[in-house]
Amino acid sequence: MNSKHEKVIIIGSGPAGFTAAIYTARANLTPLIFEGYQPGGQLTITTDVENYPGFEHGIMGPEMMEIFRKQALRFGAQSIFKNVTKVDFSKRPFTIWVESEQYTADSIIVTTGAAAMLLDIPSETNYMGYGVSACATCDAFFFKNQTVYVVGGGDSAMEEANFLTKFASKVILLHRRDKFRASKIMQDRLFKNPKVSVMWNSEVIEVLGETLDGKKKMTGLKIKNTVTNKFSEVKGDGLFLAIGHKPNTEIFKGILDMDEKGYLKVKLGSTKTNIEGIFAAGDVADSYYRQAVTAAGTGCMAAIDAERWLESQHS
Ligand code: NAP
Protein backbone atom coordinates (compact mmCIF):
# COMPACT_ATOMS: atom_id res chain seq x y z
CA MET A 1 0.00 0.00 0.00
CA ASN A 2 1.24 3.51 -0.85
CA SER A 3 1.93 5.69 2.15
CA LYS A 4 2.69 9.37 2.37
CA HIS A 5 5.85 10.23 4.25
CA GLU A 6 6.29 13.24 6.57
CA LYS A 7 9.11 14.49 8.77
CA VAL A 8 6.73 15.21 11.63
CA ILE A 9 3.19 14.06 12.26
CA ILE A 10 1.20 15.61 15.09
CA ILE A 11 -1.69 13.53 16.39
CA GLY A 12 -4.33 15.76 17.99
CA SER A 13 -5.14 19.44 17.88
CA GLY A 14 -5.82 21.74 20.85
CA PRO A 15 -3.29 24.22 22.23
CA ALA A 16 -0.51 21.59 22.50
CA GLY A 17 -0.93 20.26 18.96
CA PHE A 18 -1.22 23.65 17.29
CA THR A 19 1.73 25.09 19.22
CA ALA A 20 3.83 22.08 18.24
CA ALA A 21 2.67 22.69 14.65
CA ILE A 22 3.62 26.39 14.75
CA TYR A 23 7.11 25.61 16.03
CA THR A 24 7.83 22.64 13.75
CA ALA A 25 6.43 24.55 10.75
CA ARG A 26 8.72 27.48 11.52
CA ALA A 27 11.59 25.00 11.65
CA ASN A 28 10.71 24.06 8.03
CA LEU A 29 9.55 20.57 8.99
CA THR A 30 6.11 21.02 7.29
CA PRO A 31 4.26 19.08 10.00
CA LEU A 32 1.06 17.21 9.24
CA ILE A 33 -1.49 17.58 12.00
CA PHE A 34 -4.37 15.14 12.40
CA GLU A 35 -6.99 17.18 14.17
CA GLY A 36 -9.38 14.36 15.00
CA TYR A 37 -13.14 14.60 15.26
CA GLN A 38 -13.08 17.34 17.92
CA PRO A 39 -10.75 19.80 16.19
CA GLY A 40 -9.37 22.25 18.70
CA GLY A 41 -9.89 19.85 21.59
CA GLN A 42 -11.50 20.62 24.93
CA LEU A 43 -11.43 24.39 24.40
CA THR A 44 -14.07 24.04 21.76
CA ILE A 45 -16.57 23.04 24.45
CA THR A 46 -15.85 26.01 26.72
CA THR A 47 -17.16 29.48 26.03
CA ASP A 48 -15.00 32.40 27.19
CA VAL A 49 -11.32 31.85 27.92
CA GLU A 50 -10.10 34.64 30.16
CA ASN A 51 -6.93 33.19 31.64
CA TYR A 52 -4.83 32.79 28.50
CA PRO A 53 -2.20 35.54 28.55
CA GLY A 54 -2.39 37.93 25.63
CA PHE A 55 -6.17 38.03 25.38
CA GLU A 56 -6.82 40.92 27.73
CA HIS A 57 -10.58 40.87 27.26
CA GLY A 58 -10.93 37.11 26.94
CA ILE A 59 -11.83 35.14 23.86
CA MET A 60 -14.26 32.37 22.96
CA GLY A 61 -12.61 28.92 23.11
CA PRO A 62 -13.48 27.88 19.53
CA GLU A 63 -12.33 31.26 18.15
CA MET A 64 -9.05 30.97 20.02
CA MET A 65 -8.42 27.53 18.52
CA GLU A 66 -9.21 28.88 15.04
CA ILE A 67 -6.53 31.56 15.55
CA PHE A 68 -4.05 28.87 16.70
CA ARG A 69 -4.88 26.80 13.59
CA LYS A 70 -4.50 29.74 11.18
CA GLN A 71 -1.19 30.65 12.75
CA ALA A 72 0.09 27.09 12.23
CA LEU A 73 -1.16 26.95 8.61
CA ARG A 74 0.45 30.32 7.84
CA PHE A 75 3.87 28.75 8.38
CA GLY A 76 3.14 25.71 6.24
CA ALA A 77 1.58 23.18 8.61
CA GLN A 78 -0.87 20.84 6.90
CA SER A 79 -4.08 19.84 8.58
CA ILE A 80 -6.39 16.86 8.16
CA PHE A 81 -9.68 16.64 10.08
CA LYS A 82 -9.52 12.91 10.70
CA ASN A 83 -8.86 10.56 13.58
CA VAL A 84 -5.79 8.36 13.69
CA THR A 85 -7.08 4.84 14.20
CA LYS A 86 -3.92 2.73 14.58
CA VAL A 87 -0.18 3.22 15.03
CA ASP A 88 2.96 1.12 14.63
CA PHE A 89 5.91 2.61 16.47
CA SER A 90 7.96 -0.60 16.51
CA LYS A 91 10.17 0.40 13.58
CA ARG A 92 11.22 3.53 11.74
CA PRO A 93 9.78 5.30 9.94
CA PHE A 94 6.79 5.17 12.26
CA THR A 95 3.47 4.24 10.66
CA ILE A 96 0.02 5.55 11.41
CA TRP A 97 -3.32 4.65 9.90
CA VAL A 98 -6.34 6.83 9.34
CA GLU A 99 -8.94 4.19 8.68
CA SER A 100 -7.50 2.52 5.53
CA GLU A 101 -5.03 5.29 4.64
CA GLN A 102 -1.45 4.93 5.75
CA TYR A 103 1.17 7.58 6.60
CA THR A 104 4.76 7.30 7.74
CA ALA A 105 6.82 9.81 9.72
CA ASP A 106 10.35 10.24 11.05
CA SER A 107 8.98 11.66 14.26
CA ILE A 108 5.60 11.88 15.97
CA ILE A 109 4.18 14.31 18.50
CA VAL A 110 1.19 13.00 20.45
CA THR A 111 -1.20 15.71 21.66
CA THR A 112 -4.46 13.78 21.82
CA GLY A 113 -5.53 15.44 25.09
CA ALA A 114 -7.95 14.22 27.68
CA ALA A 115 -11.68 14.41 27.97
CA ALA A 116 -13.60 15.37 31.07
CA MET A 117 -15.90 12.54 32.01
CA LEU A 118 -19.51 13.50 31.58
CA LEU A 119 -22.72 12.27 33.12
CA ASP A 120 -24.04 11.07 29.78
CA ILE A 121 -27.39 12.81 29.87
CA PRO A 122 -28.54 14.74 26.75
CA SER A 123 -29.39 17.98 28.61
CA GLU A 124 -25.83 18.23 29.92
CA THR A 125 -24.46 18.55 26.35
CA ASN A 126 -27.22 20.99 25.50
CA TYR A 127 -26.22 23.38 28.32
CA MET A 128 -22.45 22.84 28.08
CA GLY A 129 -20.98 26.35 28.12
CA TYR A 130 -24.38 27.81 29.09
CA GLY A 131 -24.32 26.88 32.78
CA VAL A 132 -22.70 23.45 32.57
CA SER A 133 -18.91 23.28 32.76
CA ALA A 134 -16.23 20.69 33.39
CA CYS A 135 -13.59 23.21 34.46
CA ALA A 136 -14.02 25.45 37.49
CA THR A 137 -10.63 27.15 36.95
CA CYS A 138 -11.83 28.21 33.51
CA ASP A 139 -15.41 29.18 34.23
CA ALA A 140 -15.93 29.96 37.96
CA PHE A 141 -15.53 33.67 37.27
CA PHE A 142 -18.79 33.73 35.30
CA PHE A 143 -20.81 32.68 38.35
CA LYS A 144 -20.28 35.68 40.62
CA ASN A 145 -22.91 35.77 43.37
CA GLN A 146 -24.79 32.84 41.84
CA THR A 147 -25.80 29.38 43.01
CA VAL A 148 -23.80 26.52 41.56
CA TYR A 149 -23.70 22.74 41.93
CA VAL A 150 -20.66 20.49 41.74
CA VAL A 151 -20.94 16.76 41.01
CA GLY A 152 -18.34 14.34 42.38
CA GLY A 153 -16.83 13.06 45.59
CA GLY A 154 -13.10 13.00 44.82
CA ASP A 155 -10.31 15.53 45.35
CA SER A 156 -11.25 17.42 42.19
CA ALA A 157 -14.81 17.96 43.40
CA MET A 158 -13.57 19.25 46.80
CA GLU A 159 -11.05 21.53 45.13
CA GLU A 160 -13.48 22.86 42.55
CA ALA A 161 -16.22 23.45 45.14
CA ASN A 162 -13.83 25.43 47.35
CA PHE A 163 -12.51 27.39 44.39
CA LEU A 164 -16.02 28.23 43.25
CA THR A 165 -16.82 29.86 46.61
CA LYS A 166 -14.48 32.71 45.63
CA PHE A 167 -17.12 33.72 43.13
CA ALA A 168 -20.44 32.00 43.72
CA SER A 169 -22.60 32.89 46.71
CA LYS A 170 -23.63 29.29 47.28
CA VAL A 171 -22.01 26.00 46.25
CA ILE A 172 -23.84 22.71 46.65
CA LEU A 173 -21.88 19.50 46.26
CA LEU A 174 -23.92 16.62 44.87
CA HIS A 175 -22.59 13.15 45.52
CA ARG A 176 -24.14 9.85 44.52
CA ARG A 177 -23.11 8.12 47.76
CA ASP A 178 -22.99 9.08 51.45
CA LYS A 179 -19.19 9.12 51.63
CA PHE A 180 -16.52 11.05 49.75
CA ARG A 181 -13.49 9.31 48.33
CA ALA A 182 -11.48 12.55 48.57
CA SER A 183 -8.49 12.81 50.91
CA LYS A 184 -9.26 13.74 54.51
CA ILE A 185 -7.54 17.11 54.31
CA MET A 186 -9.57 18.13 51.25
CA GLN A 187 -12.79 17.01 52.92
CA ASP A 188 -11.95 18.97 56.08
CA ARG A 189 -11.31 22.09 54.05
CA LEU A 190 -14.64 21.65 52.33
CA PHE A 191 -16.66 21.06 55.50
CA LYS A 192 -15.12 24.18 57.04
CA ASN A 193 -16.23 26.36 54.14
CA PRO A 194 -19.47 28.11 55.17
CA LYS A 195 -20.52 28.68 51.56
CA VAL A 196 -20.59 24.95 50.75
CA SER A 197 -23.33 22.47 51.56
CA VAL A 198 -23.58 18.80 50.57
CA MET A 199 -26.47 16.85 49.11
CA TRP A 200 -25.66 13.18 49.71
CA ASN A 201 -27.04 10.26 47.73
CA SER A 202 -27.95 12.54 44.86
CA GLU A 203 -27.74 12.00 41.12
CA VAL A 204 -28.39 14.58 38.42
CA ILE A 205 -31.06 13.29 36.08
CA GLU A 206 -31.58 16.38 33.95
CA VAL A 207 -30.28 19.90 33.52
CA LEU A 208 -33.20 22.31 33.35
CA GLY A 209 -33.06 25.59 31.46
CA GLU A 210 -34.68 28.14 29.24
CA THR A 211 -33.94 30.23 26.18
CA LEU A 212 -34.55 33.96 26.54
CA ASP A 213 -33.94 36.35 23.62
CA GLY A 214 -32.11 33.55 21.83
CA LYS A 215 -29.79 32.94 24.80
CA LYS A 216 -29.70 29.53 26.45
CA LYS A 217 -29.38 29.40 30.22
CA MET A 218 -29.47 26.71 32.86
CA THR A 219 -32.06 27.39 35.55
CA GLY A 220 -31.93 24.28 37.73
CA LEU A 221 -31.56 20.53 38.02
CA LYS A 222 -33.73 17.50 38.33
CA ILE A 223 -32.23 15.24 40.98
CA LYS A 224 -32.84 11.67 42.04
CA ASN A 225 -32.19 10.48 45.58
CA THR A 226 -30.28 7.21 45.15
CA VAL A 227 -31.64 5.77 48.42
CA THR A 228 -35.32 6.69 48.23
CA ASN A 229 -35.47 6.88 44.39
CA LYS A 230 -37.50 10.09 44.82
CA PHE A 231 -37.12 12.95 42.32
CA SER A 232 -36.84 16.64 43.13
CA GLU A 233 -36.08 19.87 41.33
CA VAL A 234 -33.65 22.52 42.55
CA LYS A 235 -32.89 26.00 41.25
CA GLY A 236 -29.39 26.98 40.27
CA ASP A 237 -27.25 28.80 37.71
CA GLY A 238 -24.35 26.44 37.19
CA LEU A 239 -23.36 22.79 37.21
CA PHE A 240 -19.70 21.81 37.44
CA LEU A 241 -18.75 18.24 36.62
CA ALA A 242 -15.80 16.98 38.62
CA ILE A 243 -16.09 13.25 38.08
CA GLY A 244 -12.65 12.69 36.57
CA HIS A 245 -10.84 12.94 33.26
CA LYS A 246 -9.85 10.29 30.77
CA PRO A 247 -6.76 10.67 28.59
CA ASN A 248 -7.22 9.86 24.92
CA THR A 249 -4.62 7.12 24.75
CA GLU A 250 -6.56 4.06 23.62
CA ILE A 251 -4.55 3.60 20.39
CA PHE A 252 -1.22 3.76 22.27
CA LYS A 253 -1.99 0.98 24.77
CA GLY A 254 0.84 -1.53 24.99
CA ILE A 255 3.03 0.78 22.85
CA LEU A 256 3.73 3.92 24.90
CA ASP A 257 4.37 3.86 28.63
CA MET A 258 1.38 5.08 30.65
CA ASP A 259 0.52 5.53 34.30
CA GLU A 260 -2.28 3.52 35.90
CA LYS A 261 -4.89 6.03 34.65
CA GLY A 262 -3.66 5.90 31.06
CA TYR A 263 -1.75 9.22 30.97
CA LEU A 264 1.42 9.02 28.85
CA LYS A 265 4.67 9.04 30.77
CA VAL A 266 7.36 11.47 29.65
CA LYS A 267 10.93 11.80 30.88
CA LEU A 268 11.08 14.44 33.59
CA GLY A 269 11.61 17.94 32.19
CA SER A 270 11.08 16.85 28.58
CA THR A 271 8.39 15.52 26.26
CA LYS A 272 10.25 12.29 25.41
CA THR A 273 8.25 9.09 25.67
CA ASN A 274 9.74 5.61 26.06
CA ILE A 275 10.19 5.41 22.27
CA GLU A 276 12.91 7.56 20.73
CA GLY A 277 11.42 9.95 18.21
CA ILE A 278 7.93 9.94 19.76
CA PHE A 279 7.05 12.92 21.94
CA ALA A 280 3.96 13.75 24.01
CA ALA A 281 2.58 17.11 25.10
CA GLY A 282 -0.49 18.68 26.63
CA ASP A 283 -3.17 17.03 28.75
CA VAL A 284 -2.45 13.55 27.37
CA ALA A 285 0.70 13.60 29.51
CA ASP A 286 -0.54 15.88 32.29
CA SER A 287 -3.22 14.92 34.77
CA TYR A 288 -2.30 17.76 37.10
CA TYR A 289 -2.22 21.25 35.52
CA ARG A 290 -4.55 20.70 32.54
CA GLN A 291 -4.51 24.33 31.39
CA ALA A 292 -4.45 25.68 27.82
CA VAL A 293 -1.34 27.67 28.57
CA THR A 294 0.57 24.72 30.05
CA ALA A 295 -0.51 22.55 27.09
CA ALA A 296 0.79 25.19 24.68
CA GLY A 297 4.03 25.34 26.66
CA THR A 298 4.64 21.61 26.45
CA GLY A 299 3.59 21.67 22.76
CA CYS A 300 6.47 24.08 22.19
CA MET A 301 8.80 21.78 24.15
CA ALA A 302 7.75 18.78 22.04
CA ALA A 303 8.45 20.66 18.82
CA ILE A 304 11.92 21.62 20.02
CA ASP A 305 12.58 18.07 21.28
CA ALA A 306 11.46 16.62 17.92
CA GLU A 307 13.50 19.11 15.88
CA ARG A 308 16.68 18.42 17.89
CA TRP A 309 16.13 14.69 17.76
CA LEU A 310 15.65 14.75 13.98
CA GLU A 311 18.83 16.79 13.63
CA SER A 312 20.75 14.28 15.75
CA GLN A 313 19.66 11.48 13.40
CA HIS A 314 21.41 13.11 10.44
CA SER A 315 24.67 14.01 12.14
P1 NAP B 1 -11.79 10.53 41.22
O2 NAP B 1 -10.92 10.44 42.40
O3 NAP B 1 -11.85 9.37 40.29
O4 NAP B 1 -13.26 10.84 41.75
C5 NAP B 1 -14.34 10.89 40.88
C6 NAP B 1 -15.59 11.14 41.70
O7 NAP B 1 -16.67 11.31 40.80
C8 NAP B 1 -15.95 9.98 42.64
O9 NAP B 1 -16.37 10.47 43.88
C10 NAP B 1 -17.08 9.26 41.92
O11 NAP B 1 -18.07 8.73 42.77
C12 NAP B 1 -17.72 10.39 41.13
N13 NAP B 1 -18.31 9.91 39.89
C14 NAP B 1 -17.69 9.21 38.89
N15 NAP B 1 -18.54 8.98 37.89
C16 NAP B 1 -19.72 9.54 38.26
C17 NAP B 1 -20.99 9.63 37.64
N18 NAP B 1 -21.21 9.11 36.42
N19 NAP B 1 -21.97 10.26 38.31
C20 NAP B 1 -21.76 10.80 39.52
N21 NAP B 1 -20.58 10.76 40.15
C22 NAP B 1 -19.56 10.14 39.53
O23 NAP B 1 -11.43 11.77 40.26
P24 NAP B 1 -10.81 13.21 40.66
O25 NAP B 1 -11.48 13.77 41.83
O26 NAP B 1 -10.81 13.99 39.38
O27 NAP B 1 -9.31 12.89 41.04
C28 NAP B 1 -8.44 12.23 40.10
C29 NAP B 1 -7.06 12.08 40.73
O30 NAP B 1 -6.43 13.36 40.85
C31 NAP B 1 -7.14 11.49 42.14
O32 NAP B 1 -6.04 10.64 42.31
C33 NAP B 1 -7.01 12.69 43.03
O34 NAP B 1 -6.46 12.41 44.30
C35 NAP B 1 -6.10 13.60 42.21
N36 NAP B 1 -6.34 15.02 42.54
C37 NAP B 1 -5.60 15.57 43.53
C38 NAP B 1 -5.81 16.90 43.89
C39 NAP B 1 -4.98 17.52 44.96
O40 NAP B 1 -4.33 16.80 45.70
N41 NAP B 1 -4.96 18.83 45.09
C42 NAP B 1 -6.79 17.66 43.26
C43 NAP B 1 -7.56 17.05 42.25
C44 NAP B 1 -7.33 15.73 41.91
P45 NAP B 1 -17.77 7.44 43.69
O46 NAP B 1 -16.92 7.96 44.80
O47 NAP B 1 -19.11 7.01 44.10
O48 NAP B 1 -17.05 6.47 42.80
As a whole number of angstroms, the distance between CA 124 and CA 133 comes to 9
| Closest among 118, 136, 135, 181 to 154, alpha carbons compared | 181
How many distinct helices (H) and strands (E) make up the chain?
7, 19
CA of 16 to the centre of ligand 1 (A): 25
10, 82 Cβ separation under 8 angstroms:
no
Q: Ligand 1 centre and the CA of 180: distance in Å?
A: 9
pLDDT of residue 40: 78
Nearest CA to ligand 1 atom 36: 155
Flag residues of the chain having pLDDT under 70: 1-2, 45-47, 315
Mean pLDDT of the chain: 94
Pocket lining: 153 vs ligand 1, CB cutoff 6 Å = yes
Q: What is the pLDDT of residues 60-94, one digit of tens each?
A: 888 999 999 999 999 999 999 999 999 999 999 99
> How far, in Å, CA of 162 to CA of 42, rounded?
23
* 309/303 Cα distance (integer angstroms): 10
Q: Ligand 1 within 6 A of 202 CB?
A: no
Let me know the angle formed at the C-alpha of 253 by 248 and 102, rounded to the nearest 5 degrees. 80
For residue 179, the model assigns a pLDDT of: 97
d(CA 88, CA 251) in angstroms, rounded, equals 10
Name the residues annotated as catalytic.
Answer: 135, 138-139
Note the pLDDT tens digit of each residue in 151-193. 999 988 998 999 999 999 999 999 999 999 999 999 999 999 9
- State residue 44's pLDDT score: 72
CB 34, CB 62: distance < 8 Å: no
Give 89's contacts (C-beta < 8 A, 6+ positions apart).
Answer: 108, 255, 256, 275, 278
- The answer to whether the CB of 244 is under 6 A from ligand 1 is yes
Residue 46: predicted pLDDT? 63
- For the chain, the residue count is 315
Beta strands in 226-275 (DSSP E): 231-235, 238-241, 245-247
pTM: 0.77
Distance 190 CA to ligand 1 centre (A): 15
Per-residue pLDDT, 47: 63
The verdict on the CB of residue 217 being under 6 Å from ligand 1 is: no
Map out the domains of the chain with their CATH numbers.
Answer: 3-115+245-313 (3.50.50.60), 118-241 (3.50.50.60)
Nearest CA to ligand 1 atom 40: 155
Among 242, 238, 215, 44, which Cα is nearest to 141's? 238
What does the angle CA 304 – CA 308 – CA 313 come to, to the nearest 5 degrees?
150
pLDDT of 37: 72
Q: What is the whole-number distance in angstroms between the Cα of residue 182 and the centre of ligand 1?
A: 7
Q: How many CB atoms lie within 10 A of CB 3?
A: 14
144 within ligand 1 shell (Cβ under 6 A): no
Q: Dump the DSSP string for 282-307.
A: GGGG-SS---HHHHHHHHHHHHHHHH
